[in-house]
Structure formats: structure tokens, C-alpha cells
């Protein structure tokens, strides 16, 4: 399998994982599965709020990543497209963390 195909599969893979995370959220605070930060693990209410918000944010981010991948692959040469789509992918997934933390803070947790 080429690097091109693998790169193109990352956006849809994250989208599938985001839907699974949304469909099967962690029920109780744990150290294995879910959105795990000190703020989100302070209480069960904060845990539920953080996991609900981060799963929704991850779905939105994954859809945006897939869209950006399609646009960049159609406009750029393959090597440039790989570089840019990988950057967008990393930034998009990491952006879920500060977005969720801000949401938790606004929610009073």
C-alpha cells in the first residue's frame, strides 16, 4: 500500500473512531478510555460533560479533516498534499483538547 493511500485513509479512520467514541462513551471515570484530563476527572458530571463534548468536537473535526484532505489532494502535488494533510490532521485532532477544556471551564468544572 502506498503512502498516498495510507494518508488518505487517516481522515476517514479518525471519523470512524470518533463515531465509535460518540456511540460508546465511557460510563464511569477511568484511566484507560475517554477524555482524561485532571479537570474532566474531578467529578462524574465533569467526566460526562467532557466526553460528550469531546466526542462531538472530534466528529466535527474529522469531517473537516476529510474535507480538507479532498481539497488539498485535488489541488496540490502528492508530496505537498501528504505534508499539508498530515499537518491539518495533527492540528485538528489536538485542537479538540483546548476546545473541550474551555467548554469545561465555561460549564463550571
pLDDT recorded at residue 7: 84
> Which residue ranges make up each domain of the chain?
3-106
Q: Phi first, then psi: give them for residue 105, nearest 5 degrees.
A: -65, -45
pLDDT tens string 47-71: 999 999 999 999 999 999 999 999 9
Element (H, E) at 80: helix 78-106
Average pLDDT, stretch 16-32? 94
Predicted confidence band at 28 (pLDDT cuts at 50, 70, 90)? very high
Whether the CB-CB separation of 49 and 109 falls below 8 Å is answered with: yes
Q: Burial of 90 by CB count in 10 Å (0-12 exposed, 13-18 middle, 19+ buried)?
A: exposed
Residue with the three cell numbers 460510563:
27
Amino acid at each position: 500500500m502506498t503512502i498516498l493511500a495510507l494518508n488518505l485513509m487517516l481522515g476517514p479512520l479518525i471519523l470512524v473512531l470518533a463515531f465509535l467514541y460518540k456511540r460508546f462513551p465511557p460510563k464511569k471515570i477511568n484511566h484507560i478510555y475517554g477524555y482524561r484530563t485532571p479537570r474532566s476527572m474531578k467529578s462524574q458530571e465533569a467526566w460526562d460533560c467532557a466526553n460528550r463534548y469531546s466526542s462531538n468536537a472530534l466528529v466535527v473535526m474529522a469531517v473537516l479533516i476529510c474535507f480538507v484532505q479532498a481539497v488539498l489532494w485535488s489541488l496540490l502535488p502528492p508530496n505537498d498534499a501528504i505534508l499539508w494533510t498530515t499537518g491539518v490532521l495533527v492540528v485538528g485532532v489536538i485542537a479538540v483538547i483546548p476546545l473541550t477544556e474551555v467548554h469545561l471551564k465555561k460549564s463550571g468544572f
